[in-house]
Structures are given as structure tokens and as C-alpha cells.
Amino acid sequence: MKKSFTRRDLEFGEYHVISKGRWGNANLYQFQHGHTTWVIKDFSRCPPAIKKTWGRLMAKREFLALKKLKGMDGIPADPFFLDAYAVCYQYQPGTTLKETPAELISDDFFYEFEDLVKRMHRHNMVHLDIRNHRNILVTDKGRPALLDFQSSLNLENTPRVLHKLMKDIDLSGVYKNWRRKKPASLDKTRQEHLDALNRIRFLWFLKGYPLSAKPTRKA
């Protein structure tokens, strides 16, 4: 996929740090290039042993997830590799769900968010870290978007017997945050679904990482 800029452009341009990762986590930068604002998720500052193993793996996983979901509303747009250690995508203005007061969230927000997650599932992708409300964005237009796909899985590369469980992990995150922010609109059916999923939370150790060892199939 064509690069919109290079690491040299970044080094000689103006950017600011969104967050600094500790140990094996990436630094996040916001970078203005031309008329477009980008987010850069960069593992290059990790210790060498981490950068060349975990960092490369996580950057690749994030890129492949965003590439597979490219064009979907609510998914970071125009992803590309800056290099083996960093993935870039267009910046989406907004605030995380954690930072957004409940009174500023529309009554339709969680219905739209549930629909976004189910559309992602129809593309055979699961996110697996939706319970973390920092990974949910309330855009400047009040719409839901998803962030941070480094825990995600392509269901085409996982045993079919686990597909429903993986999707349920995502839906439990939707309903958990729905109950946290807009409990009055969470209907009985969804509440009961969340309660049922919470009873099998001991299976959440399956989240993401060990299931991705199977190589991606080649066309």
C-alpha cells in the first residue's frame, strides 16, 4: 500500500506525542502532512529485542486488520506501514468514550456501535478489546468508532468452533459500556445477554494473542 509520507518526513516535520508507551507498547503520535492529519503507532522506540519481535508483530496485526476493514465507517482510514515498526492511519477527531460525559452521548450511539461491531464481524474480524472504553471513540459528529486493533483476530485464521465466543467477547464489551454510560436504554434482552457472557468470562484468556500464530493464507 502506498505510503503517504516517510519516517524522514516525520523526523523533519512537526508532530506531537499523543501518548508514550511503556515497555512493549507503542508511542502514539499525531502528525500533520499536507492537508491531512495522521496517527502513527510506533514501536521503534521499544527495546531492540521487543521492537524486532513483539513490535513488528503488533504493527503487522494492526495494519492487516485495518486493511481488511478499509472503507468501513467507524474504522481508521487509509492505513499504511511507515516501516516494519510503525503503522499509520488518518486521525479521526473526537474523544474516547471514557472521557465523554454520558449526557453528551446520543440515544442512538450504542445502537450504532452495536451495528458497527456486527458489520466488522461480517468481515470475519473481531476486535477483542472493546470492554476497554479507551478503545471506543465518540467522533466530533457523535458517531462511534473503534481504535487499537492490536488484539484483533482474523476469524479466517482461527478454528470455527471459537468464532461465536470471539464475537461474544466483542458484544460483551458493547453491552458493558452501554450499561456504564446509558443504562436506561439497555433493554432486557441485551442485559440478559451481557449477564450470560459475564458468567463465562473465565474464557476471556483466549483474547487475541495466542490464537494468531496460524499464518495468514496466501491467495
Residues 57-113: pLDDT tens digits? 999 999 999 999 999 999 999 999 999 999 999 999 999 999 999 999 999 999 999
pLDDT at site 204: 58
Q: What is the pLDDT of residue 205?
A: 53
Tens-place pLDDT, residues 18-54: 999 887 899 999 999 999 999 999 999 999 999 999 9
Task: List % helix, strand, coil for the chain (3-state, nearest 5).
Answer: 45, 20, 35
| Lookup: cell for 218 | 496466501
**pLDDT confidence bin for 157, thresholds 50/70/90:** confident
**Which sign does the torsion angle of CA 74, 77, 80, 81 carry?**
negative
Q: Which domains does the chain have, with CATH numbers?
A: 7-90 (3.30.200.20), 94-212 (1.10.510.10)
pLDDT at 217: 36
The predicted pLDDT at position 8 comes to 93
Q: How many residues does the chain have?
A: 219
pLDDT of res. 143? 98
Cβ–Cβ < 8 Å for 4, 33: yes
Residue 56 grid coordinates: 513488528
CA distance 151 to 156: 15
3-state secondary structure of 2: coil
- Answer with the residue of higher pLDDT: 212 or 142: 142
Confidence (pTM)? 0.88
- Note the pLDDT of residue 202: 65
Residue 201's pLDDT band (boundaries 50, 70, 90)?
A: confident
Nearest alpha-carbon partner for 155 in 144, 141, 140, 165: 165
State how far the Cα of 39 lies from the Cα of 145, in Å rounded to an integer.
Answer: 15
**pLDDT for residue 210:** 43
Q: 212: pLDDT confidence band, cut at 50, 70 and 90?
A: very low
Confidence at residue 214, expressed as pLDDT on a 0 to 100 scale: 39
Average pLDDT, the chain: 90
